[in-house]
Structure 1
Amino acid sequence: MLAGCVSPPTRWAAPMSGDPAPSGSASAGVTPPTWGPCEGYRDVPNVTLECGVMKVPQDWNAPVQGKTFDIALLRARSSRQSQRIGSLVVNPGGPGGSGVDLAYYLSQGLPNEIVWKFDIVGFDPRGVGKSSPVECFSDEDLDTNFGFDPDPVSDAAFNELVALTRRMAQSCGDKYGDQLPLFSTEQAARDMDAIRAAVGDEKLTYLGYSYGTLLGATYAQLFPTKIRALVLDGAVDPTISSVASSEGQAKGFERAFTNFSTWCASNAGQCPIAPDARAAATTALAAARTAPVGQTGGRRATAGWVFTAIISSLYSETRWPDLASALSDLQRGNPKGIFELADSYAERDAQGKYSNLFDANLAVNCADDDESITVERARQLQAEWRVKYPLFGASSALNLVCAQWPGKRDPYPAGKAEGAPPIVVVGTKGDPATPYEQTPALAAMLGVGVVLTWEGEGHTAYPQTSCINKAVNDYLVSLKVPPAGQSCPAR
């Protein structure tokens, strides 16, 4: 399950004031979905799957008849459902992850206490997947971008990356122009309220992962009285700047890699690069810069692909053995494991075709960020963060697509959810992508947030242990709020 691949740029924005309903009501310009069969999904035992598409205004602030986006939906309903509470709307993060796919997987993966009480409803946010998708990056440019050195030191290499990312940004501007700010998080949060109304729920019950916590927090500020229960897992702090968010992620991945290295040294039987995983990774990146290993078909495991494989594996502790094996195989001239890890992250298929995950990711992130870093400042931070965060700092500084984004911006609100019920904010101590420090920050910003901590590793927590499951299930089903400061052990 994709639970958020890139931590979104964030910044402070003034709290919303007044009632947003006149321009953001769920009835204005909305065509309710007609439910029918789901194409491309296997049947799930004891679950009925229904899919549909609803039309929403492109701009909730100024709806214009005929100017709409399609929002794709999937609803999963257990045949064992009894005493139904309503719908649980879900989002996997990214931004760019498919909520339609997530609902399908969660219909098989959530605890029975949930699937027997709720319809599981997923949606692809505007611009994502099947929902009027943003598609402006070529497969060739994405290959070059992912394969590019994550830390281009020379001016020539850096300028080459600047030119590539400028071309990518401009390709979106050329295709979408004035539409680009309409893919913002605030617009998507208003779509969520239309979905709530379309499934017949008076109030929203929501489970959001990673970037999905930002989407949920934005909804909470816009529609605080329309909330039944919100679980925000893998919290994003909306109050910090995009630079601070990127640095936090660099720190988080360094911490996660250190934890991986410690595991490797203590589990040499499962880790063929023991005892020093960090040295193995550093050596692999250095070798890939000068003599990248090739495979049949001409593809070469450059430093960018090795780096992407490392990033991919740190989202879940279960992938640590895969990373160790991939780096070990690479030492022996076999890059297959590196490409498997990297391609799973990039959503690249065997034919070199990409989903629109990263097109949407950048469209949303750049639309949200009204204080994007400049190219010159990125170059300065690259040198500074390389010292502070040796593996991940330089790359984290290089948000060069948004630095050159041609579209206008639409920043989301960052303030209290006045009038909302308690909202459960879940954080994982070993989370690399949304570092734990953001969990209490988001809870405090909302004013009604209740922190639930998992002492585990990886990105997001629910449903991974019985302690986390019980706390979240009790809240979703019975609205029983976890006690303040509750912490769940790693196992």
Structure 2
Amino acid sequence: MSHPAAPRRPRAIGVLLAGSLALTGCSIDNPFSRDAKVTSTPLPSTAKVPTGQDALAKFYNQTLTWTDCGGPKCAELEVPIDYAKPDGETIKLKVLKTEKRGGGTKAGSILVNPGGPGGSGVEYARYADFIVGTPVRKAYDVVGFDPRGVQDSAPIECVEPPQLDDFLGQDPTPDDAAERQQAVTIATDFGKACAANAGPLLGHVSTVEAAKDMDILRAVVGDAKLNYLGKSYGTYLGATYAGLFPDRVGRMVLDGALAPDLTPEETAIGQARGFDTATRAWAADCVKEGNCPLGTSVDEVMTGLSDLLTKLDKTPATVTGDARVKKLTEGWAAYGIAAAMYDQGMWAQLTDALRKVVASDDGTGLMNLANAYAERDASGAYSGNMMQVIYAVNCLDAPDSPDIATYVEREKKAQEQAQLFGRFLAWSGLTCGHWPITSTNKPAKITAAGSAPIVVVGTTRDPATPYEWAVRLADQLEAGVLVTMDGDGHTAYMRANSCIDNALNDFYTKDKVPADGLRC
């Protein structure tokens, strides 16, 4: 299944099926209205060009022009498309700053990223009150940016919405040679469309380049060091920054960790295990509540879900109220189930949706969940470009194999470890296996030797970024500190766990590093 995901109330965007997930029900006004009031801020004296980067002086020395955008302030940051050619073409990245509230001395800025790749940091920072604790809001400006290729920063859009519908709804579990060849064709055609429509930027949206953009933003907003909150894929972005600029790491929190040395196969199988673990937790709750539509034990429910997806592969269910999608395919159904695993508050919605599919072949409820996953509404409009740019980033960061046999073998391994999601995630790298841009990047450990302490947070039953990845990243970082939340759902900070929240609030505001191994 070579697809991704999206935010619900601003939280995190996970990495799923070569993509991401975070269910977002927030709607915001355009922060870059042409009627916005323009104000200019002089370049802070602390925004200096780092040693050895004189070729980038014009970027480090730029002055942001801030506009009022309904409370927060907005600006555009200019960066080179290709860091190897700093005098070449440039793009502008959208930036949003929600200023600290309350009196007292400002501690600086916290740069935030919700994940993806493809999540909007601009939208995320707008909801600062929900993503950082009150003590942090009183001490810091919260700054977010749309990374290169994302949303309002030269967005990469490969296909039109109807074609994206077809791409996301495709058969995620090809069963025979003909279906596998069709999957290759779909993956290849999608990549060709990206190359045709994205231009030269398609080869320059890697995480390393986004991290370099972050350092320019750090300097331009006047921070000597980067204070950072990254969730899900945002942890990979933060770790990459730390590896490039360890001496510029300030107070950094990586929540819902993605270890940078994971191979595509390890990522696929690890996520499959993670989603299966989360689904079993939902199944236990479904059985406990009674009248569970798929069985009276966890094993029965898991088998029932597998059987239902197999049935939908052959005979899709009916969808009503959607402008374009009239049938719930196996692909859309898998997205719907996965969406509910990000937050246990959605479990009841999933149970109800499944009950209607089983009882009356009505797939509308499950399609609604899938739409939330895809940042899509019933009119067929997508609110962002995450479901497309996610491939552009992932395929540069971690190229995969073009060989069908690789995925057939990966499927066997994945199914041995994950009954439900193994098959889907085994095929998640196929698009990157046929990507039109050749990349020599390879997954690798990051130690960030010499950095300040970096807090890595893992949740024990996180579906998208399994807990063992947090352990792995914390072990690799020379100054890694592991904090654990024993619970369900994706990421931990600001999810109603006071132990986690207090520890991270104190880290940001009191420079009190949590005890390594703290468990909440």
Counterpart amino acid of residue 469 in structure 2:
Q
- How far does the alpha carbon of each residue in 1:399-429 deviate from its partner, in whole angstroms, 9 at most, with x for none? 1110000113263763321221110000000
Are positions 1:29 and 2:38 aligned together? no
Tell me the equivalent position of 1:61.
Answer: 84
Of stretches 377-386 and 345-354 in structure 1, the one that deviates more from structure 2 is: 377-386
Tell me the equivalent position of 1:349.
Answer: 377
Tell me the equivalent position of 2:157.
Answer: 135
Are positions 1:51 and 2:74 aligned together? yes
Q: In structure 1, the residue corresponding to 2:262 is in which secondary structure? A: coil
Counterpart amino acid of residue 34 in structure 1:
T
Asked if structure 2 preserves the Cα contact closer than 8 Å seen for 1:74 and 1:121, the reply is: yes
- How far does the alpha carbon of each residue in 1:65-119 deviate from its partner, in whole angstroms, 9 at most, with x for none? 4x11211111112442422101111000110000111111233453211111111
Asked if structure 2 preserves the Cα contact closer than 8 Å seen for 1:76 and 1:107, the reply is: no
From 452, 477, 493, the equivalent of 1:446 is 477
Tell me the equivalent position of 1:419.
Answer: 450
Q: In structure 2, the residue corresponding to 1:29 is in which secondary structure? A: helix
Aligned residues: 470
Asked if structure 2 preserves the Cα contact closer than 8 Å seen for 1:141 and 1:164, the reply is: no
Are positions 1:335 and 2:335 aligned together? no
Deviation for aligned residue 1:281? 1.8
Return 5+ residue gaps in structure 1 as ranges: 11-18
Q: In structure 1, the residue corresponding to 2:224 is in which secondary structure? A: coil
Counterpart amino acid of residue 339 in structure 1:
M
Q: 1:9 to 1:135 in 2, by over 3 A?
A: closer
Asked if structure 2 preserves the Cα contact closer than 8 Å seen for 1:375 and 1:403, the reply is: no
- How far does the alpha carbon of each residue in 1:216-274 deviate from its partner, in whole angstroms, 9 at most, with x for none? 001111111112110000111111211111111111111111111112222227x5555
Are positions 1:221 and 2:243 aligned together? yes
Deviation for aligned residue 1:383? 3.8
- How far does the alpha carbon of each residue in 1:111-136 deviate from its partner, in whole angstroms, 9 at most, with x for none? 21111111111111111110111111
Are positions 1:325 and 2:384 aligned together? no
Are positions 1:428 and 2:433 aligned together? no
Are positions 1:366 and 2:395 aligned together? yes
Return 5+ residue gaps in structure 2 as ranges: 1-9, 20-48
Structure-1 separation of matches of 2:197 and 2:385: 15
- How far does the alpha carbon of each residue in 1:275-304 deviate from its partner, in whole angstroms, 9 at most, with x for none? 343244223213322332223456111111
Counterpart amino acid of residue 460 in structure 2:
K
Are positions 1:6 and 2:15 aligned together? yes
Deviation for aligned residue 1:392? 0.8
- How far does the alpha carbon of each residue in 1:131-190 deviate from its partner, in whole angstroms, 9 at most, with x for none? 111111332332122212221212222222211111001111223455323100000001
Tell me the equivalent position of 2:173.
Answer: 151
Counterpart amino acid of residue 427 in structure 1:
G
Of stretches 235-244 and 420-429 in structure 1, the one that deviates more from structure 2 is: 235-244
Structure-1 separation of matches of 2:172 and 2:11: 22
Tell me the equivalent position of 2:433.
Answer: 403
Q: How does 1:275-290 map to 2 (within 5 A)?
A: 275=296, 276-290=300-314
Q: TM-score, normalised by structure 1?
A: 0.90
Q: In structure 1, the residue corresponding to 2:446 is in which secondary structure? A: coil
Q: 1:81 to 1:267 in 2, by over 3 A?
A: farther
Superposition RMSD in Å: 2.3
From 469, 472, 476, the equivalent of 2:504 is 472
Of stretches 232-241 and 99-108 in structure 1, the one that deviates more from structure 2 is: 99-108
Deviation for aligned residue 1:9? 7.0
Asked if structure 2 preserves the Cα contact closer than 8 Å seen for 1:87 and 1:121, the reply is: yes
- How far does the alpha carbon of each residue in 1:300-349 deviate from its partner, in whole angstroms, 9 at most, with x for none? 11111111101111111111111111111222233221111101111112
Structure-1 separation of matches of 2:175 and 2:164: 21
Structure-2 separation of matches of 1:461 and 1:25: 40
Are positions 1:107 and 2:129 aligned together? yes
Q: 1:228 to 1:26 in 2, by over 3 A?
A: farther
Asked if structure 2 preserves the Cα contact closer than 8 Å seen for 1:81 and 1:118, the reply is: no
Q: 1:24 to 1:107 in 2, by over 3 A?
A: farther
Q: 1:327 to 1:84 in 2, by over 3 A?
A: same
Are positions 1:486 and 2:518 aligned together? yes
Asked if structure 1 preserves the Cα contact closer than 8 Å seen for 2:172 and 2:331, the reply is: yes
